[in-house]
Each structure stands twice: as C-alpha cells, then as structure tokens.
Structure 1
C-alpha cells in the first residue's frame, strides 16, 4: 500500500496535522467498507437435540483473526485521541495475532511498527508481521512484554498501543457493527434467535467486555461464558477475587488466558466460566476442523469445549436454545507448533483422546468430559443476576 504523504507540520512532537488525520481516517473507513462481515456457521449436532450451535468465523478477516476488529478500534482510538500522527512509531505487546493486525494497519498508514512478543510465538505469525513491514522484538519471559513495549515506545517517541489496557474502551459496545451486534443480526432468522449462551475466551478482555455490555444494553437474556485455559488467572480471579496474578507454566494456547489480571478484563460481565486444559483445546480444535472443514486454532478449541459443556447441561435439563462461540483464527498459523506431531509429543500432550471425545459429543451430545474423565475441566455455577 502507498503510504500517506507526510505534511510539513513542524517538529515531530507537534500535534498531528489535521489533513493527514482526515486522510488516515478515510483510509480506515475504506478498509472497513471493503472488509465484509464474517460468517456465522452452524455446527452440525446430533439430530433432534433441540439445541443449535454456531461459530462466528473470525479467521476470514483480512489479517486472519478476531484481532482485526481490535486493531482497527485501537488505531481509531489512537488517531482520534491525538496519539498517532504521521511520524509515529506504533509499538505493541502481543502474543501474535493482534500484532499481525496492527502491522497491517500501520503499513496502510505508512507508519513503522514494532511488535514485542514472547520468543515462543508461532513462527507463522512472525512471518506475517514481517510481510506487513513490521519488526518483531522478542523477550524470553511472556510477562516482560509490557515493560519492554513501553520502553521501546519511549525511546522512539512512539505510541504504545497497550491493547491490554485500551481494548475495552476502544470498541463502541453499543453497536457500530461490533461483534455482538453482528452476531444478533445474523441470528435474527434462526430457530432460536436470542442465544442462551455466548462463549468467548479472554486475552485482553476486550471481546468479552464488548459482548457483555451489549447484552445488557439491549436487554438480552443471553448469558456470557468465559472459556479459559487451565493455567490462566482469569477464572481463578472469578472464583476468588483476591487472586490477580499467577506464576508457573504458561498456556500454549496463544491469544487467550493471561498470567495477570488485565485492565480490560471486566469480571462483572461474566456469568459462568469453564477452565480447559491445553490438550482438550487442541483436540477440540482438530475435531471442529474435521466437522466444518475450516482450519481452527487452539483458542477455538477452548471455546468449543466450554460450549459443549454448556450444551450437555442444557440437554440434561431438557432445555432448548442456541449457543454461539467464536472461531478465532486459523490453525494454519500453528503448523510448526500445535499441528506438528513432533512438537506435541515433545510436550507430552495427548490430543487424540479429547479429539475423539469432542467428535462423540458432536455426534451423540454426550459431554466430552464424561468420555475423558470428570477431572478434565473445572467450571463454575451460573452467576445469579
């Protein structure tokens, strides 16, 4: 893409030129108009179950993931708050997908971009950032990304996007074609147009905040379930509000689950949580890929496992309705990690048992935990209004 012309508006720390800003916002609007909404796919379940399952396929965004929405919102937030100008270096702390999407928008505006990310980030994401002209700066410990991103932004005179702080405030949760509004518009003609549950993971917490606020704003009876990696702090905080951080091994599921309670995560909006082990996430993602013919990343498997738990409970109670969750990104980004048998074996993971359990669930409605052992997941009761 051709960079925007840089107006001669004085020193590098003077306010962004209004003409450049207008052109930048026009480019952002044109990109949004070109990006058609993502598909809502119905997942085949056993016949006559009385429950319909849908996944919203966010992998079809131009940058291949749910984070495309967040990156657009963060850029608009930075532009309209006067924090991004014609010479601003954009810096972000990310496990990969947000950085890919931000690199795309930075290239569109002709701005330099630096992604600070863990050294364990999937190589395919690193390659995509480079393809959009971005530079990757690696840290060994995932918890070091925040301070290092801030340091680089200060040294370059750039703007630290800080998705973990700004995600919940950058998106217009009242509508404006956000993901929640899109889901309800696409569900309008379905058998059960108002879902009983929407299931999402949380990394920044921006998506769960957007959906949770929209549900309340529109008065929907839909409840929000957090699908969380087993090693994440989010579900621990929901169980015990005094817990705000954890140490130990990080989840291999990129994009969701954190070791610290992020500012954009809003616990009061979550009605239920399900904690899912990494092996179950990988196995469920494989099963969904087979069933719908769309490659699915591990965070999608986390979402699906939690959705399956809810559906099995609804079935046991004789309830009918719909459940919606997200296909966050493509499994193709993880060819060198999650989809590599040698990588899986080196970590001692058994993904075949949970894959088979999820396939049985989709065919029979039997809760996947019932097939692999009740200790596989932990879950909370439904929060009462």
Structure 2
C-alpha cells in the first residue's frame, strides 16, 4: 500500500456545530467515610494539594525543538518535547490536573485507592502522583500494553489490572472503585475540564510563550493527536480565547473512531478493536473529545506513524512513541501543502513520549512484520518530502 492509500483526510473546515459527544453517566462516588470538616482530613488535603503544586513549581518548561527543514521553504516546524516531564510524557500535565481536580472536589481521600482506565502513559503519571500524596493506585489496562509501561507503573508504586477487551476498561474501573471505596479518576470524561484552558501555563500558553521571539510567533497550525481529547480541546480553546488565527489539526490512527465521528457528525461512532498506536485513538467518542473546537482531522495509517518516528530519530537523534509519529506525519502533510501554496509560517506538533518505552514495538522490525505493517513506502515518501517538499499522493 502506497503512502496515499488509506490516508483519508477531511480538511478546510470544522465539523458541523451540531456534533456533540454523548454525555457519560456519572459513576456515583462511594459513600464518604471521613468527615470533611475534620481537621485531620483538611490538613491531609492541604498537604496533598501543596505536594502536587510543588511538583509543577520544580519543573522547568518542556523544550520546543526545531525540526530541520530547508531554509528556502520559509516554514519552521517545531516539536514540543513533552517527554522531558518527570514521568516522561505529555500525560504528566494531565495527571497533575486530574489529581488537583479530584483533591479539590473532595473525591480523592486518604488511604483510598485512585483507579484509572489507561493504556499506559496516563497510568504511569498518575501512579507517580498517587505515590507523591501517599494513596494506592490501580491502572486498568489492555493486556497488550507495552511491558516497559507496566514496569514504569509498578516502579512508581502502582498496580496493574488487565482486561482482554479494551472496551471493558471503563466498567471494570468503575466496579473496582465501587468495591474498594476508591475514586475512579476517569480521564476520558474529565481531561477537558480538569485543565485550565484559559492559561495557567497550560501547554498552549507555553507554546506561544516559547515562540514569541521566533520569526513566525503565531503558528499557522498546531497538530495534536487525541487519546482523551483533552490536549486538543485545551489548545483549541486557548487559541479561540486568545483570538489567534492558528488552526488545530487532530490526526487519528487506524482502529479509532474519532475521525469518523468528527467527519460524519456521529456521536455514536465506534471501532471494534483498539489502536496499535498506544496512547491515542479510541473505540468510542470520548466525552473529553470536543469536535466543534477542531478545524481539521486526518486519518493516518499506522505504518506512516512508525515511519515518521524513525525519520525523527534520523533527523534529530531522538526516539519517540508512535503517537508522535502520527502527529509528525500530519505536520509533514501540512508543511507540504503550505509550500505548494507559497505560504510561509510555522507549524507545531508534539513529542508525546519517549521511544524507549516502545523498543519492542515501533522500533522492532519483527513487530512490524507480525502486524503486517510495511513502512517502506512511507519512509521513502518522507525522504522525498525532505528533499522536494512533496509528500506523495
């Protein structure tokens, strides 16, 4: 299959305003077993919030890296390197926001477990914050999650609870929370509301601050892949709130329903199997995915995603996860279109996490063969793009 095959795209406009994601039924919280006016609980809560906020205060902002493109093109391509967070991924921001949200709502309680449905990186980051404030953590995840992510969750003191069907993660997490008296964090519902999208050093505000001395300080496009949809929602809302002209593109991998749901205004869109690109793509339209805020979506073949992360390593010497490749392939397409139209400007995408977690997947030729993925045509297309600014049909 050539680089253009299977690479459907819907561009040049937003999904109809009637698109709405079906609200999820709220999972009742377990009956409180502490008096929230009790001084011991309030002291614990204040200390927990302080520790989570102190983590942010200790962390320098993540780097904005420049991808080498020919100077004559007049286009700058940047990668926001979220792999440098303490837990190694973009999900560190989300986990911090979710813990603050849960603590300040009175949902996370001393001694009670925090439970999350996660394919890996969110669970790694949440395990870190659970350990930081001294509560147990359980990650409900597909059995196919990479061994390195499982190791990292356990390294931070978390426990892994496996399911065979990714579609059962939600119910299993809610059941565990009810049975243990813990809190189901539910990133797929709360990601878009736990983060302060108006500013407060969110990822969008950070990007614009870091670009302010560049030759094109307001990017033409920001490309953000979607797992929960929280990052794309935060960036899009910030762009609209600040009245920037930047447009937002969300690439979607194979075996994910976001593209179809956005394109056909279908809140009930679904997929029968899970994404091979860990951390992004979902089998259902998630509550935190905000279709109306997005300008464009692309459907990206998994082989193109893998080819792109390998090209990234050749270009800047950095390994990254498959979701980074999904975004980078889309960014390449956008740059090619801009060059063809004679436009100048900047494009930003994300390094979502490091590739060391996926050495047995996206950097393994044996895994590619097992999955039936041929990255050769896409690698050739990228090499051609970097010479000619044309990515292929």
TM-score between both structures, scaled by the size of structure 1: 0.91
The 8 Å contact of residues 260 and 266 in structure 2, kept in 1 or not, is answered as no
In the alignment, is residue 119 of structure 1 matched against residue 143 of structure 2?
yes
For 1:230 and 1:139, how far apart are their aligned partners in 2? 21
Match for residue 138 of structure 1?
A: 162
Partner deviation per Cα, 1:169-210 (whole Å, 9 max, x = no partner): 000001001000000000000010000000001110100110
User: Shift of the alpha carbon at 1:322?
Assistant: 0.4
Q: Are residue 92 (structure 1) and residue 113 (structure 2) matched?
A: no
Q: Show structure 2 runs of 5+ residues with no match.
A: 1-31
Cα distance in 2 between the residues matched to 1:13 and 1:360: 63
For the residue of structure 2 that corresponds to 1:48, the secondary structure is helix
* Partner residue of 2:262 out of 233, 238, 242: 238
In 2, Cα distance between the equivalents of 1:24 and 1:251?
Answer: 35
Task: Tell me what 2:16 maps to.
Answer: none
Question: What do the CA deviations read for 1:302-352 (whole angstroms, capped 9, x no partner)?
Answer: 001111111111111111110000000111101122222211111111123
Distance 2:86 2:179 in 1: 31
2-side partners of 1:361 and 1:244: how far apart?
37
Offset of residue 243 of structure 1: 5.3
Among residues 43, 46, 54, which one is paired with 2:78 in the alignment?
A: 54
User: C-alpha displacement at 1:26, in angstroms?
Assistant: 1.2
RMSD: 1.2
Answer with 230-239 or 252-261: which moved more. Answer: 230-239
What is the CA deviation profile of residues 71-95 of structure 1, one whole-angstrom value per residue up to 9, with x for unaligned ones?
Answer: 0000000000000121220000000
Matched, 1:77 2:98: no
1:202 maps to 2:226: yes
8 Å CA contact retained: 2:298, 2:330: yes
Alpha-carbon distance, 1:247 to partner = 3.1
Aligned residue in 2 for 1:360: 384
Asked if structure 2 preserves the Cα contact closer than 8 Å seen for 1:95 and 1:254, the reply is: yes
Mapped to 2, the partners of 1:49 and 1:113 lie a distance apart of: 49
| Comparing 228-237 and 143-152, the one that deviates more | 228-237
Q: How far apart are the structure 1 equivalents of 2:293 and 2:386?
A: 29
Superimposed CA distance per residue, residues 138-158 of structure 1 (whole angstroms, 9 cap, x where no aligned partner)? 000111100000000100000
Asked if the contact 1:213–1:269 (Cα under 8 Å) also holds between the matched residues in 2, the reply is yes
Determine which of 49, 65, 79 is the counterpart of 2:89.
65
Q: Deviations over 1:229-285 (max 9, x none)?
A: 132111111110125232334321011111100000000011011110111101111
Which of 369, 374, 377 is matched with 1:350 structurally?
374
CA contact (8 A) 1:236 1:243 kept: no
Larger mean CA deviation between 335-344 and 83-92 belongs to 335-344
For the residue of structure 2 that corresponds to 1:273, the secondary structure is strand
Where does residue 304 of structure 1 map in the other structure? 328
Is this contact kept in 1: 2:66–2:78, CA < 8 A?
yes
Distance 2:254 2:271 in 1: 13
Counterpart of 1:284?
308
1:1-385 alignment runs, 5 A limit: 12-15=33-36, 17-242=41-266, 244-367=268-391, 370=392, 374=393
Question: Any idea what SS the aligned residue of 2:73 has?
Answer: coil
Equivalent position SS for 1:225: strand
Distance in 2 (CA, whole Å) between partners of 1:91 and 1:239 is 33
Q: Distance in 2 between matches of 1:227 and 1:204?
A: 13
Specify which structure has the bigger relative contact order, considering alpha-carbon pairs within 8 angstroms and separated by 6 or more residues. 2
Q: Decide whether the 8 Å contact of 1:45 with 1:365 is kept in 2.
A: no
SS of residue in 2 equivalent to 1:326: strand
Partners of 1:233 and 1:243 within 8 A in 2: no
Q: CA deviation at 1:364?
A: 2.8
Moved more, 356-365 or 123-132: 356-365
